[in-house]
Amino acid sequence: MTFSRLLTLLSVVVAASAASMMLHERRTATPSGFIRVGAAPATEMITLRVALTSNNVAGLEEQLRSIVTPGSSNFRQWLSMDDVKTYAQPSAETVSVFNAFASANGLTPTVISPNGDWVSITLAVSKANTLFAAEFEHFMHPSLKRPITRTLSVSLPSELVGHVDVLHPTTSFVSPDVRLVPAIPHLDRRSEPAASCNSSDPFSVVTPTCLQDLYGIPTTPATETSNTLLVTGYVEQWAQKADLAQFLTLSRPDIPPSTTFTLLTTHNGTNPQGVDDPLKTIEANLDIQYTAGIATNVPLIFLSVGGLDFPTALLDTTMFLDGIANPPSVMTTSYEDPESSFGASMATKICNGYMALGARGISGGVHGNRDTLDVCDSPFDPAFPSTCPFVTSVGSTQGFAPEKAANFTGGGFSNVFPTPYYQTASVAGFLETIPGDFAGTFNKSGRGYPDVSTQGLNFELVNLGEVSNLGGGTSASSPTFASIIALINDRLVAAQKPVLGFLNPFLYSKASSAFTDVTIGHNSGFVCPASSEGFDAAVGWDPLTGFGTPRFPDLLAAAFD
Ligand SMILES: *[C@@H]1O[C@H](CO)[C@@H](O)[C@H](O)[C@H]1NC(C)=O
Ligand SMILES: *[C@@H]1O[C@H](CO)[C@@H](O)[C@H](O)[C@H]1NC(C)=O
Ligand SMILES: *[C@@H]1O[C@H](CO)[C@@H](O)[C@H](O)[C@H]1NC(C)=O
Ligand SMILES: *[C@@H]1O[C@H](CO)[C@@H](O)[C@H](O)[C@H]1NC(C)=O
């Protein structure tokens, strides 16, 4: 009697609460590398960032497509900060729905982005668990100093569905260990100025001079002070001015060793000098030394983003630039993590942020490494932000005659972003080259990356006063390619033409013949056995080197065409 009545009642209660909550994002297991430490205390206060749905992402995407299409009436007429805001801001309805939800639940949202599409709320874990049908727990990872608070599942009350795109941090599990120079010991030390690329050198050391010779990059100084190149610095990587001066004296004796960068910071970023831990400087030093060393006289900005949560840092970067009227023309990012760690909603929101920057005329370049992402038996977990179709992903080559794909170069296909329109023919051409049984191991319908590549192994740099050669990393390739684009933009601005902005449609059309195709190589990984699964380089675009490596004069001609 009462037993069955009770059951009926219970099922009614469950059905009622299920109807009002809609599952937003869920993980079926704790991501690899993380361990559960226990439930987060009910009274712990957490701050959640809430992405309010932009009113017209589709409109922005359509507008951008028109801006990058040669012959369109608005070709390369990049949007202003306010133009972008009209698309990115939430509708009045979305704002009022969220504010009503917040006030009904005693929450005080704070707007944290220039476009009004992000707010933050601070609340107790017990309340967050109830409001979002979550179970916040503490998780540890070997690269973390203290546990992080996350949940494996998050839901939205039905009235917020369609008005909220992301709650962060909830189901994103990104370790702060996104530094991307593989930990290979110094190969040798040198005190002589480097010659051009020397195939007989057993280490095939790469220097600015070598890259200039190899790709035809001019050494003449840029002239346009309005055209700036921005290097992002995350997870407490700090660029050292003394190392840059020493590097320029060694590698670019033809330019003033006083050549330096401007520091900008956001989210309490810092850039202390005189650091004594080489692991805190190596990535930032590499990025700054190769941009200063190649993009001769292009004003250089180091943007240091504080905080150790990588998805938050990527968002903070896009928000920072959303609030700047005259943004840089190129931004380079040498950090990444598996796409799956971000989760689809966060990856999509960050990628839409890059779309908005592309529409403002900022070319965004990121790199993709392989070994830092995967264990050897799961080679096809793609890297983000490389998989975002609105950034240019740069892979790595090694050797000079001919160049071949470096074994550590990342590459593959997104599980979140579909193949974008500009690369469908290139991806289809590559898919024809692979054996049929291989095709099931990755997502053929995804955005393929990288788009292009440059040298990425044995870059000589100065780190805390020591001259050394890096083992390798596509994190060397992204600053190299970004510098080339910054130099081309300098020539465009000098000729009173618009900068290149969102690059990929240009790379996959007019510019594709400005690259030397790299057709040899297999990305089985630097440390994984050479027999590990990976892609093979092929004639034409491939997911190791994209179209191959740039020839500056041809790329410049295509940009002016
Ligand atoms: C190239 O490397 C070889 C082997 O280290 C060296 O003997 C030679 O001097 C180098 N050539 C130049 C032009 O630096
Ligand atoms: C920056 O630091 C100040 C002072 O420590 C702190 O109050 C503020 O919350 C920090 N801001 C961010 C975005 O972390
Ligand atoms: C493959 O990628 C598409 C996006 O292009 C995505 O919708 C789909 O879920 C992905 N499949 C898997 C198995 O991840
Ligand atoms: C990957 O390439 C590097 C550089 O040529 C080499 O030292 C390393 O042994 C290679 N790794 C494997 C597993 O073959």
pLDDT, tens digit (0-9, with 9 covering 90-100), for 430-454: 999 887 666 557 889 999 999 999 9
Higher-pLDDT residue of 206 and 60 is 60
- Residue where a domain stops, chosen among 106, 137, 168: 168
My answer on whether omega of the bond before 553 falls inside 30° of 0, hence cis, is: no
201 pLDDT band, cuts 50/70/90, is confident
pLDDT bracket for residue 11 (50, 70, 90): very low
Query: Any idea what the Cα angle at residue 342 is, between residues 337 and 344, rounded to 5°?
Result: 130
Residue 302 CA, distance from chain mean position: 16
Bridge partners (DSSP) listed for residue 262: 301
Distance between CA atoms of 99 and 114, rounded to whole angstroms?
18
Q: Which of 168, 193, 228 lies at the terminal end of a domain, its last residue?
A: 168
Within-domain flag for 194: no
Q: Report which protein residue has its CA nearest ligand 3's atom 11.
A: 415
Exposed/middle/buried for 329, CB within 10 Å: 0-12, 13-18, 19+? buried
157 and 266 in a single domain? The answer is no
Confidence of residue 71 (pLDDT cuts 50, 70, 90): very high
Q: How far is CA 109 from CA 48, 119, 120, 122, 161, in A?
A: 10, 6, 5, 8, 18
Among 198, 204, 210, 400, say which to mutate for ligand 1: greatest number of ligand atoms within 8 Å of CB: 198
Q: 88-97, 306-315, 396-405, 430-439: which has the minimum mean pLDDT?
A: 430-439
What percent of the chain shows pLDDT beyond 70?
88
236 and 139 within one domain? no
Residue 372 has pLDDT above 70, yes or no: no
State the virtual CA torsion across 116, 148, 385, 95 in degrees, nearest 10: -20
Cβ-contact 372, 487 below 8 angstroms? no
Q: What is the pLDDT of residue 140?
A: 96
Cα-to-centroid distance, 446 and ligand 3 (Å): 7
Mean pLDDT of 369-379: 54
CATH number at residue 305: 3.40.50.200
Split into its structural domains, the chain has a count of 2
pLDDT > 70? residue 369:
no
Q: Which ligand is nearest to the CA of 387?
A: 3
Query: Is 373 among the domain residues?
Result: yes
Give the C-alpha separation, 465 to 243, whole Å.
Answer: 6
Phi, psi of 522 (to 5 degrees): -145, 125
SS3 of residue 551 by DSSP: coil
384 and 465 within one domain? yes
Among 526, 527, 528, which is best to mutate for testing ligand 4, by the most ligand atoms less than 8 A from CB? Answer: 526
- pLDDT reading at 222 higher than 70: yes
Cα gap 259→261, rounded to integer Å: 7
Say whether both 352 and 474 belong to one domain.
yes
**Do 149 and 251 belong to one domain?**
no
Residue 323 Cα to ligand 2 middle (Å): 19
Confidence of residue 62 (pLDDT cuts 50, 70, 90): very high
Q: Classify residue 11: in a domain, yes or no.
A: no
CA atoms within 13 A of residue 291's CA, in its CB half-sphere: 32
Domain boundary at 168, 194, 217, which? 168
| Residue linked to tokens 């009642």 | 9
What residue ranges line ligand 2, CB within 6 angstroms? 267-268
Q: Which of 376, 407, 531 to mutate to test the pocket of ligand 4 (most atoms within 8 A of CB)?
A: 407
pLDDT value of position 297:
98
- Are 160 and 304 in a shared domain? no
What are the binding residues for Ca(2+)?
517-518, 540, 542
> What is residue 377's predicted lDDT score, i.e. its pLDDT?
58
Better-scored residue on pLDDT, 278 or 122? 122
Between 371 and 327, residue with greater pLDDT: 327
Location of structure tokens 């100093």: 145
In a domain, 331, yes or no: yes
**Minimum-distance ligand 1 atom for the alpha carbon of 195:** 14
pLDDT higher than 50, residue 7: no
pLDDT per position as a tens digit, 147-156: 999 999 999 9
What the block records as the tokens of 167 is: 């709650």
Answer for the pair 337, 174: CB distance below 8 angstroms, yes or no. yes
How far apart are the CA of 324 and the centre of ligand 3, in A?
35
For tokens 């027999």, name the residue.
531
Per the omega criterion (within 30 degrees of 0), is the bond before 169 cis?
yes
Average pLDDT over residues 367-378: 56
SS3 553: helix
**How many CB atoms within 10 Å of residue 155?**
23
The pLDDT of 490-500, averaged and rounded, is 98
Ligand nearest to the CA of 194: 1
Residues 227 and 354 placed together within one structural domain of the fold = yes
Ligand 1: centre distance to CA 200 (Å): 6
Write down the catalytic residue from 393, 468, 475, 478: 475
Rounded mean pLDDT, 483-495 = 98
Whose C-alpha lies nearest to ligand 2, atom 4?
Answer: 268
Return mean pLDDT, the chain. Answer: 89
Q: Does 122 share its domain with 223? A: no
Q: pLDDT tens digit string along 391-441?
A: 999 999 999 989 999 887 878 899 999 999 999 999 999 999 887 666 557
Residue with the smallest CA separation from ligand 4 atom 1 is 526
Span of 186-195, 285-294, 380-389 with lowest mean pLDDT: 186-195
Q: Is 386 a catalytic residue?
A: no
Which strands make up the sheet holding 148-150, listed edge to edge?
35-39, 137-140, 148-150
pTM of the full structure: 0.93
Contact between 229 and 364 (Cβ < 8 Å): no
Contact in structure between 352 and 464 (CB atoms under 8 Å): no
CB 365 within 8 A of CB 392: yes
Residue 131 sits in the same domain as residue 36: yes
Ligand 2 centroid to 160 CA: how many Å? Answer: 29
148 domain residue, yes or no: yes
Ligand 2 atom 7: the closest Cα is on which residue?
Answer: 268
- Residue whose Cα lies nearest atom 4 of ligand 1: it is 201
Q: Which amino acid is at 109?
A: P
Q: What pLDDT shows up at residue 374?
A: 47
**Domain annotation covers residue 203:** no
Question: Considering the domain boundaries, does residue 2 fall inside one?
Answer: no
Domain that holds residue 494: 208-560
Over residues 214-234, the mean pLDDT reads: 97
With contact defined as beta carbons under 8 Å apart, do 119 and 52 qualify? yes
End-to-end CA distance of the chain: 83
- pLDDT score of 229 more than 70: yes
pLDDT digits (tens, 9 = 90+) for 334-366: 988 889 999 999 999 999 999 999 999 999 888
Kindly tell me if the per-residue pLDDT of 12 is higher than 70.
no
Average pLDDT score over residue span 471-480:
80
Query: Which residue bears the tokens 């869920």?
Result: 26
Q: Does residue 99 sit in helix, strand or coil?
A: helix
Q: Is 287 a catalytic residue?
A: yes
Task: Please write the tens of the pLDDT for every residue from 13-39.
Answer: 333 344 499 999 999 999 888 999 999
Q: Ligand 3 centroid to 414 CA: how many Å?
A: 7
Residue 410: per-residue pLDDT: 78
User: Which of these is catalytic: 117, 137, 287, 536?
Assistant: 287
pLDDT at position 8 = 37
- Residue 15's H or E segment, with its range, is helix 2-20
For residue 273, pLDDT beyond 70 = yes
Among the residue ranges 203-212, 229-238, 311-320, the one predicted with the least confidence is 203-212
* Ligand closest to the CA atom of residue 188: 1
Residue 213 falls in the annotated catalytic set: no
As a whole-number percent, the residues of the chain with pLDDT over 90 amount to: 74
**Ligand 2: residue whose CA is nearest its atom 8:** 268
Distance CA 413, CA 394 (A): 14
**Cα torsion for 410, 415, 417, 421, to the nearest 10°?**
80
Kindly state whether residues 164 and 213 are assigned to the same domain: no
How high is the pLDDT of residue 378?
Answer: 57
pLDDT category of residue 231 using cuts at 50, 70 and 90: very high
554 touches ligand 1 (CB under 6 Å): no
Contact 391, 364 (CB under 8 A): yes
As a whole number of angstroms, the distance between CA 195 and CA 193 comes to: 7
Query: Cα–Cα–Cα angle for 430, 434, 437, nearest 5°?
Result: 140
**Per-residue model confidence (pLDDT) at position 16:** 37
Decide if 364 contacts 354 (C-beta within 8 A): yes
Contact by Cβ (8 Å): 356, 387: no
Whether 360 and 239 map to the same domain: the answer is: yes
Position in ligand 1 atom list of the atom nearest CA 200 = 2
CA of 237 to the centre of ligand 2 (A): 19
Considering every ligand atom, which ligand is closest to the CA of 529?
A: 4
Average pLDDT over residues 535-552: 95
Residues 312, 275 contacting (CB under 8 angstroms): no
Residue 471: name the closest of 179, 208, 184 by CA. Answer: 184
The 3-state secondary structure of 456-509, one letter per residue: CECEEEEECCEEEECCECHHHHHHHHHHHHHHHHHHHHHCCCCCCCCCHHHHCC
- Ligand 2 atom with the shortest distance to the CA of 268: 1
Average pLDDT of the segment spanning 240-245: 97
Q: Locate all alpha helices (DSSP H) within 409-473, ordered by sequence.
A: 424-431
Is there a domain that residue 423 lies in? yes
Q: Is 73 touching ligand 1 by the criterion CB < 6 Å?
A: no
Ligand 4 shell residues, CB under 6 Å? 398, 407, 457, 526, 529-530
The tokens describing 205, both together, are 């050391």
pLDDT value, residue 367: 72
Assign 311 a pLDDT band (cuts: 50, 70, 90).
Answer: very high
Q: 291 and 401 in one domain?
A: yes
